[in-house]
Amino acid sequence: MEKALAYAGTHFDDFVAQLQDLLRIPSISTDPDYRDEVRRAAGWLADHLETIGMAHTEVLDTAGHPVVYAEHVVDPARPTVLVYGHYDVQPPDPLALWTSPPFEPVIRDGVIYARGACDDKGQLFMHLKAAEAYLATGEGPPVNLKFLLEGEEESGSEHLPGFIEAHHERLAADIVLISDTDLFGPGIPSITYGLRGLAYLEVTLTGPNRDLHSGMYGGAVENPINALCRLIAGLHDADHRVTIPGFYDNVVPLTEEERATFRALPFDEQAWAKEVGLPATKTEKGYSVLEAISARPTLDVNGIWGGYTGKGAKTVLPAQAHAKISMRLVPDQRPEEIAEKARAYFEANCPPTMKLSFRYLHGGPGVLVDTHSPAMQAAARALKEVFGRDPFFIRSGGSIPVVSVFKKRLGLDSVLMGFGLTSDAIHSPNEHFGLDRFRQGIESIIRFQTHYARTR
């Protein structure tokens, strides 16, 4: 490990220059005009993986953009780490707001600016460099390594689940390691061990068989918008808890250890609310803001529409009203079951004047990884050595669907050891990544491999 760390230290400038080469490729997966560029990035990565000495590398086609796969098995008896990352990037628009062109990476004050600098080229490249550090110094990596690098993450990873299903044998591993998340704050090492799931619904209420004149009919025809508002209003109680019967049945309660961690995290609720422009926060009774946004289930209307929405006044009594509603779930809530409970709520409360149409659009379960597992403890130790302080185990309120896919298709937990910051402007103009974090990431991954190998 010491040799690998030394190699990484002496070659850091080369690593940065190589990352800049990768960042120059505009691998925008959502835009068909950049299809060849996405493939070029895949080819670049495959070449690079070969160059650093991975035993086997190939570019595998999918119905969408290709997957780069590489492996280096040192000893079947050792643990195997499957590294996941994505080499595609978000579109750079609006271009006018970039200080320097998005695909001409520049370094200013120790920070590299380019689309993909953090999300996820910069972070996935740390894993290549950690592997190189072991391979170049002759000792070889202490674990078996597999790389699965996709090119469709920013456009929905449409073909990834099928790919993982089709290649589940060669993807066999002991743990997935992903660097595509954030530090809790600058200099604060953190490992994400929990993600929320999702259940997404669309509800339509239909009253009369056509839009009516509110003067001629108003008073005896129940208005679908008013009725839908009543149904939606009834979804929360005064404590801001979700009222759908059975909604909380399978929720794994926060442990005292988890709540202590939430309290220990350096988080300023007032500053957070101010940044979002909120006069006041609103949480489920009994839970802090951090707990509520990351570890408790929620319900939000994501969209609502009905009747006349143009300028001025139109006195329509509309035939229909629609809403898109999603629930963020936590373990062990099951998305399909929660959707059925929501359906039951709407059916039970739909007034006799209305017809209800209810659709469950999609969903996925929440994820909780045991923080005491060997891989998590190895990651914690690595981060502590690099940052000089114990990392926080944190939960994220969002979803990373691929983590559920790895669990479901391969039976694998994921270690989410990311080095981004919420201020890195991923998906926005002037995306950037601090070279200090690029260096810390490489060191942390090198250390993780050694510590994890020792757990076997």
DSSP 388: S
Tokens matching residue 140? 């070889």
Identify whether the C-beta of residue 242 lies closer than 8 Å to the C-beta of residue 236: yes
Q: Which is nearer to its own copies, 164 or 330 (CB)?
A: 330
Residue that is written with structure tokens 């942390």 in the block: 444
How far apart CA 195 and CA 398 sit, in angstroms, is 6
How far apart CA 429 and CA 128 sit, in angstroms, is 26
Q: Is 88 one of the annotated active-site residues of the chain?
A: yes
Beta strands in 313-419 (DSSP E): 316-317, 320-329, 355-364, 367-368, 392-396, 414-416
Identify whether the C-beta of residue 367 lies closer than 8 Å to the C-beta of residue 407: yes
Q: Which of 37, 119, 120, 153 is catalytic?
A: 153
Helix residue ranges, H only, 52-140: 121-136
Minimal distance in Å, beta carbon 203 to its own copies?
12
Minimal distance in Å, beta carbon 223 to its own copies?
5
Q: Which is nearer to its own copies, 12 or 200 (CB)?
A: 200
What pairs with residue 213 in β-bridges?
316
How far apart CA 239 and CA 247 sit, in angstroms, is 15
Q: Which is nearer to its own copies, 20 or 283 (CB)?
A: 283
Q: Which of 37, 71, 88, 180 is catalytic?
A: 88
Minimal distance in Å, beta carbon 119 to its own copies?
14
Q: Which is nearer to its own copies, 136 or 316 (CB)?
A: 316
How far apart CA 447 and CA 319 sit, in angstroms, is 63
Minimal distance in Å, beta carbon 237 to its own copies?
11
Minimal distance in Å, beta carbon 244 to its own copies?
14
DSSP 252: P
DSSP 200: E
Minimal distance in Å, beta carbon 69 to its own copies?
29
| CA separation, residue 136 to residues 49, 133, 325 (Å) | 12, 5, 52
Q: Which is nearer to its own copies, 311 or 372 (CB)?
A: 311
Q: Which is nearer to its own copies, 261 or 396 (CB)?
A: 396
Query: What are the φ/ψ torsions at residue 121 (nearest 5 degrees)?
Result: -60, -45
Closest by CA to 236, choosing from 184, 296, 195, is 296
| Residues labelled catalytic | 88, 153
